[in-house]
Structure 1
Amino acid sequence: MKCISQGSVAKVFSTDPLSPVGISSTLDGHLLITLKDSESKLYQPNSRSRRLVRRMSLKGNVIREYEFQKGGKMGLFTVPCRVLENLNTDVCVINATSDSTGELVILSFSGSLKTVYPEQDQRDNFKFTDVVCDPQSNIIVSES
């Protein structure tokens, strides 16, 4: 990760061997970074794949990782693309499931899965491209 300040660019920390896809700042001044490995096909993660959201300090210290559902075996993401934290401290992640489909995964601050939108049988109709929240913590997504 690099920091641009007053016209200069400086390396702050690295996420190697994972590649960053999306980044946002949190209410408490940390970063949320979506990460993916390059070990498997893009939309076909396997048992060795890493697809996650990492909460980090601005100095690169890992605070928390959101990668698995409760129990630690089932991955939460195919390709986490965009991420943000709303005023309720929910972590909202756009998860691409193919070139033309996706879902919105909402986690609690602690990492518990709150909901996935749309439901499994409706996902062919949605390709989310970005997510924001308004001051009342309403989640707003754009889709193509």
Structure 2
Amino acid sequence: MLSLDNKTAWISSYDINTLSKINFDDKIRTVKDISADVYDMSLTAREDMLLSLYGSTDVSTDVSLLTTKTGEIKPFLSLSPLYPGSIHITKHNEIILGVMEEGSTYDRTDKGGSKLIVFGMNGKPKTSFEYDKHKQRMFTLPDRIASNVNDDIVVIDNISQYYGRVVVLNQEGQIKWTYQGNPQVNSGVNLFYPSDIVTTSVGHVIVSDINRHALHVLSHQGALLICKVMADQGIIYPMSLDFDTNGQLWVGCRSEDGESCDAKLHIVNMSS
């Protein structure tokens, strides 16, 4: 989900392979539907979108550009033989991609695995982040990427399909801190499984914890400020997060059973 203002958003539903522009005014109105199986997306300065796509091998190694005025999708950047996953455009107009080798979804080895690559908007690579200062691989599957006011790179790294963590890198690509959940909420079988991440204007990090119906708010230094289970407010299975132009947090949730079409979008006022 990407909000354009306080009433309009692009929302992707991979269950029905559709990317929709939705207007939320007196009535909910679909402005545009585009057939696209989107893994992740990020807005350019011109409010076009860069997309990483699921689907056929014809597009799976490409980052595509969606021209929002026309709805045309065309290849923007080829990564073959790597596969793009998470994508983020920074305030400095740099593109950060989480990429993986074929067959290496949760297989972090010395010979192959996942990494971040930073590109300019001209599609030329600038740098990549793969190993820490101990020459160990930093990521298993970098699933979502954000950046904060200090230009740190904030990454959701999924260790398995049941468990993940937050990894924050400095501008040199070294790990500043990691977060693996709140023991009061994430214990036993209730592992921390982050699904999306955003940062605030003062540097706080907000993470959606889909299986625990929770939002974790962290300081820019990685300290847990609050962990709020949102189920008592009717917010369950929070998948996607974004701030609108009014500073309100949009929370997109998946359907309760994962199949029916009763997914909900909530708008939350955040207090400092």
Q: Specify if TM > 0.5.
A: yes
Match for 1:15: what amino acid? L
Q: State whether residues 84 and 92 of structure 1, in contact with CA within 8 Å, keep that contact through their aligned partners in structure 2.
A: yes
1:16 paired to 2:80: yes
Match for 1:79: what amino acid? L
Q: State whether residues 13 and 59 of structure 1, in contact with CA within 8 Å, keep that contact through their aligned partners in structure 2.
A: no
The count of corresponding residues between Structure 1 and Structure 2 is 141
Q: Secondary structure at the match of 1:13?
A: strand
Q: State whether residues 39 and 49 of structure 1, in contact with CA within 8 Å, keep that contact through their aligned partners in structure 2.
A: no
> Please, which of 47, 52, 56 is the counterpart of residue 115 of structure 2?
52
Partner of 2:129: 66
The structure with the largest alpha-carbon Rg is 2
Q: State whether residues 131 and 141 of structure 1, in contact with CA within 8 Å, keep that contact through their aligned partners in structure 2.
A: yes
Q: 1:29 to 1:20 in 2, by over 3 A?
A: same
Q: State whether residues 21 and 36 of structure 1, in contact with CA within 8 Å, keep that contact through their aligned partners in structure 2.
A: yes
How many Å separate the matches in 1 of 2:120 and 2:178? 27
Query: Deviation of residue 123 (structure 1)?
Result: 8.5
Match for 2:204: what amino acid? N
Partner of 2:199: 133
Q: Secondary structure at the match of 2:139?
A: coil
Q: Structure 1: which 4+ aligned runs deviate by more than 2 Å?
A: 121-125
Structure 1: gaps spanning 5 or more residues: none
How many Å separate the matches in 2 of 1:31 and 1:123? 35
Q: State whether residues 103 and 123 of structure 1, in contact with CA within 8 Å, keep that contact through their aligned partners in structure 2.
A: no
> Please, which of 170, 173, 193 is the counterpart of residue 111 of structure 1?
173
How many Å separate the matches in 2 of 1:138 and 1:3? 30
How many Å separate the matches in 1 of 2:120 and 2:152? 18
> Please, which of 190, 208, 220 is the counterpart of residue 142 of structure 1?
208
* CA RMSD between the two structures: 1.9
Partner of 1:28: 92
Q: State whether residues 114 and 130 of structure 2, in contact with CA within 8 Å, keep that contact through their aligned partners in structure 1.
A: yes
User: RCO (CA 8 Å, sep 6+): is it higher in 1 or 2?
Assistant: 1
How many Å separate the matches in 1 of 2:74 and 2:85? 19
Percent of paired sites with the same residue: 24
Could you list the per-position Cα deviations for residues 66-108 of structure 1 after superposition, in whole angstroms to 9, with x for gaps in the alignment? 111014x200001110001111101000000011100000000
Q: 1:37 to 1:30 in 2, by over 3 A?
A: same
How many Å separate the matches in 1 of 2:208 and 2:78? 30
Q: State whether residues 27 and 87 of structure 1, in contact with CA within 8 Å, keep that contact through their aligned partners in structure 2.
A: no
Partner of 2:140: 78
Q: 1:39 to 1:123 in 2, by over 3 A?
A: farther
Q: State whether residues 96 and 118 of structure 2, in contact with CA within 8 Å, keep that contact through their aligned partners in structure 1.
A: yes
Q: Secondary structure at the match of 1:12?
A: strand
Q: 1:53 to 1:123 in 2, by over 3 A?
A: farther
TM-score between the two structures when normalised by the length of structure 1: 0.90
How many Å separate the matches in 1 of 2:132 and 2:100? 17
Query: Deviation of residue 4 (structure 1)?
Result: 1.4
